[in-house]
Structure 1
Amino acid sequence: MRRPPKDTLESARKISRRGLVVAGLQAGFVGLLGWRMRHMQVDQADQFRFLAEENRINIRLIPPARGEIFDRNGVAVAANAPAYRITMVREDAGDIDAVLDSLGQLVDLDPEEVERARAEMKRSAPFLPVTVADRVSWEDISRVAVNGPALPGVTPEVGLSRHYPLRHDLAHVVGYVGPVSERDLAHYADPPPLLRIPRFQIGKVGVETKLEEVLRGKAGAKRVEVNAVGRVMRELDRREGTSGATVQLTIDSQLQNYTAARLGEESASVVVLDLEHGDVLAACSSPSYDPNKFVRGISVADYSVLRENDHRPLASKIVQDAYPPGSTFKMAAALAAMEAGLITPTETVWCPGYLEVSGRRFHCWKRAGHGHMNLEKSLRESCDVYYYDLAIKVGIEKIAEMARRLGLGEVHDLPMSAVTKGLVPDKNWKFVNRGADWVVGDTVNAVIGQGFVLTSPLQLAVMTARLATGRSVAPRLIKRIDGVEEPSRGGESLGINENHLRQIRKAMFEVSNNRRGTAYRYRSVAEDVRIAGKTGTSQVRNITAAERARGVTRNEDLPWERRDHGLFVNFAPAEAPRIAVATVVEHGGGSGAAAPIGRDVTLQALYGGDPPLDAYPSADRGRIKTQQERLARERRTPAAPGQEEA
């Protein structure tokens, strides 16, 4: 049946309208798509180009060479040595066990290191290199390189590792480096990317950590092309980093080496200061340790040996420990009294062997007493009663003020770890810290360097330097950084009456050069290197009245840890001082343990080597000759990279 013409015409009109709508929609879609393509290809071209480049190009940091450290004469004390290691890429190795077996036939592998490497390979991406053997020899590297085709995924590499050629000698001064830990990262609000490089090392103690920012340097960078999964395809370009600064210490490594040998296995410390600039010429804490063991991680067994040693080799006794200064504190008290106009050098005090104070008897070290004592004699023979009497006249406030002017109770600005402030007490200190009032007995104890008073060997050396010069000498450990001289610390005038200082120096000269002086046995007889000093003994136990009645137990009859500390401070030459020295021997039994060490180190410093035997008293020359020969054999020679003591 044929459709009427009218229906056919209406149907055609409907189809035409639908076609137009569809065509319009298609045209609109094509137009929108074209606009979007133009927007992405033209307007956003730079952004997408950057994203594409970001996916294809990686920027990787290159660790800088750490700045090296030298002594005052240019001897390396912290250097960078080539370190050879062997790495493995898991995906290239295939059968890891088979490759490790083959590698083990060429190189002596540490089983613990291998297991650590296995664990690291399991948690790392398959294309990342993992260290299998570290600090191997050049011969090992050569064997691996020659057998490379039989060791898939294995690569010999070379880098830089910290090395301390003088080992024990400067461990407490220079310190050591070690891998970055989470504790290290916690010190930064936003840790530098450089610190996140695997096995990157930073300073842990000593100069290495205090000058970390100076020594670290600035990282370089390299651009590498990577594929979709991050595997490196090739290196595009490289920008080397900037090495850390070169640091020169004020330490004389030869003098430091001698001092370490002279101390031997004593639990002791010595500080030597140059009086012109305040340079620390030697700062030795004994016993010591080999910092090279810490660079890659010390073993539990080795660390336990150090921790369990009752002589505390890990402690930096020169700045970290504080001791009662004993009679070496008497110079500060005497100066305080003279500056206050409360005593004169000629007036005397009678010493019967004790002084009654507030119903308590304070004893002199000499039980029978010294008789009449003036200022010079009191220091020469170290009479305690003279200073008990002085303490009552002067009071703790003036004594404490003078002690601080001489450098005690002060944190000296040195790039070393755990520098102690020590303690110079006064009335306010006791009230705040002990909740009690100061009593006269506290002053009597303090005036002879006992009671609450605490000082470090460094502070005692500074005090001695200031007494010798009358200037505010301060210790300087860094001589130059990248060739630029650090400011001198020779100091300005202390403003102390020169006549009063002259009286103290004269008395210190008598200590070492008068037959009645407490250090006369340990003098120098060379006219141009006479020594002026002061002995000190600090008690580490209380002596009861019952013990005094039956006779005080001798130090040599006591256990080591209950014996008195021995101290000796000195400057030389006495007529024109150039150096100041402080020596502390823990539980040495008294000043007789410290004075001969101080004398020997002083002469070694002034002569620049072993002094002539005629600088010593004739009775000592045979013993000194034997000692010099023994020390010459025992003094350590610089260690080669990788050489450590067992």
Structure 2
Amino acid sequence: MRRTPRDSAESVRKISRRGLILGGAQLGFAGILGLRMRFMQVDQADEFRLLAEENRINIRLIPPSRGQIFDRNGVVIAENAPSYRITMVREDAGNVEDVIARLSTLVELDEDELNRALTEMDRSAPFLPITVADRVSWEDISRVAVNAPALPGVTPEVGLSRFYPHHETFAHVVGYVGPVSERDLARYEDPEPVLRIPRFQIGKVGVEAKYEEQLRGDAGAKRVEVNAVGRVMRELDRREGDAGTDIQLTLDSGLQEYCKARLGQESASCVVMDLEHGDILAIASSPSYDPNKFVRGISVADYSVLRDNNHRPLASKTVQDAYPPGSTFKMICALAALESGIMSADDTAYCPGHLEVGSRRFHCWKRAGHGWVNLEESIRESCDVYYYELALKVGIERIAEMARRLGLGEAPDVPMSAVTAGLVPDKEWKLRERGASWLIGDSVNASIGQGFVLSSPLQQAIMTARIATGRNIGPRLVKRIDGVDTPSRGGESMGMNENHLRQVRKAMHAVSNNRRGTGYRSRIVSEGYEMAGKSGTSQVRNQVVRNEDVPWEQRDHALFVNFAPYNNPRIAVSVVVEHGGGGSAAAAPINRDVTLQALYGGTPPLEAYPSADRSRIKAQQERFAREREERLSNASSRA
């Protein structure tokens, strides 16, 4: 059927209208696309340029140099030593097993460390360097460098690692560093990125841990160009970080070494405090350990040896352990009685060798008794019955108050790990902690430093320092931080009656200088250097059995404290020998020798010792000199 001209014209109009609509839509879409392209290429050009640059350039952290630790005289205690290591890149090595076999003919490879490296290679990208041998010698590095063509993918590198040149001497004070663990990271809400650097080291215990943030420093950064798969192509620039803060301790390295040598193989501890600023001149625990073994992660075998030793070399006995103070607590009881006005120094008590309290008999260490004794005689000869009766008159509350004034019962403020507060018991404490009422027998036991009373060797030194000076002396272990002195801990007056303190000091002088004193055999005979001390023996069992007849672990602890010189006190010293027996026999000789070493600033003359001791002391000094030379030689070779 033929279409009319009118129908044809109508069809053309419809097609033209649709074409215009479609063409308009296409032009509109093209316009929008053009505007979007202009927005992205012009208005957002800087943003996309930055994103592209970030895909090409990476920012990588540079570990900061850790601050060093020095003794009071500037001797390095903890430093950063060059550490040589050998790394391998898996993709460059090709056949890893063959390369390692060739490398093992040049360098002795630790099997455990090698297995760890191979495991790390399997988990890491093939272009990342993995350490296969750490802390190797310069000779090993040289051999690897010379044979580099035969060792594809192997690179000798040098870095910095913590090193403790004195090895065991400062281990319990300074502590050690080690690789960051998941447990370490968990302690921070938002860990710093530097802590995630592989094998980055942080302080684990001791001063290294307590001053971690100051010692750590601030990380640097470098910009490196990488390709699409993250391989480093070149380094563009670098900004070195800020080294950590240097810290100077109050310790004297020479005196610390002597204390360590004098304690020998005993399970023992020693603290020496300066009485002007409260500086800790020496704080030694024996036996000790080499902190260098912990820096890269100690082996299971080495750790087992330390853990299973019954002398507990890992324990910081000076601050971590608390012992019954024994008869050294008698000065506290005496001062509590004098300050309360309940008794005077001239008041006497009769000691028949025991005291009946209720249905129980409390014995004096001298079974025959001391007879009539006053305060000076009771301290000089360490009469127990005198203090049994004194405690019944004074009461535990006054005794506990005096103990706290003299530094017991609170943790000393020192940057060491696991610092104990000890224990000063009273009626409220027993009711709260034991759910029982305080008994008269508890006061009797406490009067001679037994029962519930506990104190650390550092607390014993603080107690002695406060008695010697009448000031509220506190311990200071850090002398300077970044060259700036820390505040003195010399303390203000405790407000105690000076005459009462003088009477106790006089009694302590008699302990060491009167023929009837318990510490007379370990006296100092040099004029002007005499010491005033007090022995203590703390029981670890209830049975009355001689120490020689029981195993070592059941023997009494031996204690001795002193200050010196008597007429012009400069230092206070405390010594504890675990399971050493009597304080006057085991701890007093060590205490006297350490005191002389501190007062003379080195080896004292033989004339400072009683004539009966001089041949033994001379042999001891010669042996220590030989051992010191051997230590220096060994330290040099180990370094």
Please indicate the TM-score interval, normalised by the length of the shorter structure.
over 0.9
Q: What does residue 565 of structure 2 align with?
A: 573
SS of the residue corresponding to residue 589 of structure 1 reads coil
Give CA-to-partner distance per residue, 1:62-110, whole Å, 9 cap, x none. 1001111010011111110000111111112121112212222222222
1:19 Cα offset (Å): 2.7
**Contact (CA 8 Å) 2:177, 2:205: kept in 1 or not?**
yes
Cα distance in 1 for partners of 2:110, 2:557 equals: 45
Structure 1 unpaired stretches of 5+: 544-551
1:410 Cα offset (Å): 1.1
1:595 corresponds to 2:588: yes
In the TM superposition, 1:230-629 aligns within 5 A as 230-543=230-543, 552-591=544-583, 592-629=585-622
Cα distance in 2 for partners of 1:557, 1:360 equals: 25
Give CA-to-partner distance per residue, 1:523-554, whole Å, 9 cap, x none. 010011101000000011102xxxxxxxx532
1:11 Cα offset (Å): 4.1
1:430 Cα offset (Å): 0.3
**Contact (CA 8 Å) 1:180, 1:199: kept in 2 or not?**
yes
1:632 corresponds to 2:587: no
In the TM superposition, 1:138-153 aligns within 5 A as 138-153=138-153
**Contact (CA 8 Å) 2:474, 2:490: kept in 1 or not?**
yes
SS of the residue corresponding to residue 281 of structure 1 reads strand
The percentage of counterpart residues that share the same residue type is 75
- Counterparts in 2 of 1:271 and 1:469: CA distance versus 1, 3 Å: same
Cα distance in 1 for partners of 2:545, 2:119 equals: 60
1:359 Cα offset (Å): 2.4
1:3 Cα offset (Å): 6.7
Q: Which amino acid aligns with 2:412?
A: H
Give CA-to-partner distance per residue, 1:312-362, whole Å, 9 cap, x none. 000000000000000000000000000000111111111110111122111
1:383 Cα offset (Å): 0.3
Cα distance in 2 for partners of 1:67, 1:458 equals: 27
Q: Which amino acid aligns with 2:241?
A: G
**Contact (CA 8 Å) 1:568, 1:598: kept in 2 or not?**
yes
1:47 Cα offset (Å): 2.2
Q: Which moved more, 1:145-154 or 1:322-331?
A: 145-154
Q: Which amino acid aligns with 2:593?
A: D
Give CA-to-partner distance per residue, 1:255-278, whole Å, 9 cap, x none. 000110001000000000000000
Cα distance in 2 for partners of 1:189, 1:409 equals: 33
Q: Which moved more, 1:363-372 or 1:38-47?
A: 38-47
Cα distance in 2 for partners of 1:315, 1:448 equals: 26
Q: Which amino acid aligns with 1:208?
A: E
1:116 Cα offset (Å): 1.3
**Contact (CA 8 Å) 1:226, 1:234: kept in 2 or not?**
yes
Q: Which moved more, 1:493-502 or 1:635-644?
A: 635-644
Q: Which moved more, 1:138-147 or 1:503-512?
A: 138-147
Q: What does residue 222 of structure 2 align with?
A: 222
Cα distance in 2 for partners of 1:638, 1:605 equals: 25
1:568 Cα offset (Å): 0.2
1:499 Cα offset (Å): 0.2
Q: What does residue 184 of structure 1 align with?
A: 184
SS of the residue corresponding to residue 541 of structure 1 reads coil
1:643 corresponds to 2:625: no
Q: Which amino acid aligns with 2:182?
A: E
Q: What does residue 127 of structure 1 align with?
A: 127
**Contact (CA 8 Å) 2:178, 2:201: kept in 1 or not?**
yes
**Contact (CA 8 Å) 1:165, 1:638: kept in 2 or not?**
no
1:558 Cα offset (Å): 1.6
SS of the residue corresponding to residue 338 of structure 2 reads helix
1:253 Cα offset (Å): 0.6
- Cα RMSD, aligned residues only: 1.4
1:6 Cα offset (Å): 4.5
- Counterparts in 2 of 1:638 and 1:161: CA distance versus 1, 3 Å: farther
SS of the residue corresponding to residue 91 of structure 1 reads helix
Total equivalences in the alignment: 636
Cα distance in 2 for partners of 1:452, 1:430 equals: 9
1:117 Cα offset (Å): 1.1
**Contact (CA 8 Å) 2:166, 2:635: kept in 1 or not?**
no
**Contact (CA 8 Å) 2:270, 2:283: kept in 1 or not?**
yes
Give CA-to-partner distance per residue, 1:276-296, whole Å, 9 cap, x none. 000000000000011111111
Q: What does residue 546 of structure 1 align with?
A: none
Structure 2 unpaired stretches of 5+: none
SS of the residue corresponding to residue 529 of structure 1 reads coil
Give CA-to-partner distance per residue, 1:192-222, whole Å, 9 cap, x none. 1111110011111111101101111011111
SS of the residue corresponding to residue 369 of structure 2 reads coil
Cα distance in 2 for partners of 1:306, 1:556 equals: 27
Q: Which amino acid aligns with 1:432?
A: R
Give CA-to-partner distance per residue, 1:293-315, whole Å, 9 cap, x none. 11111111111111111100000
Q: Which amino acid aligns with 2:218?
A: K
1:603 Cα offset (Å): 0.1
SS of the residue corresponding to residue 637 of structure 1 reads helix
In the TM superposition, 1:22-61 aligns within 5 A as 22-61=22-61
Cα distance in 2 for partners of 1:257, 1:132 equals: 36
Q: Which amino acid aligns with 1:609?
A: G
Q: Which amino acid aligns with 1:577?
A: P
Instruction: Calculate the TM-score normalised by the size of structure 1.
Output: 0.96
**Contact (CA 8 Å) 1:225, 1:235: kept in 2 or not?**
yes
Q: Which moved more, 1:38-47 or 1:471-480?
A: 38-47
Cα distance in 2 for partners of 1:441, 1:553 equals: 21
Cα distance in 2 for partners of 1:641, 1:159 equals: 20
Cα distance in 1 for partners of 2:18, 2:356 equals: 125
1:389 Cα offset (Å): 0.7
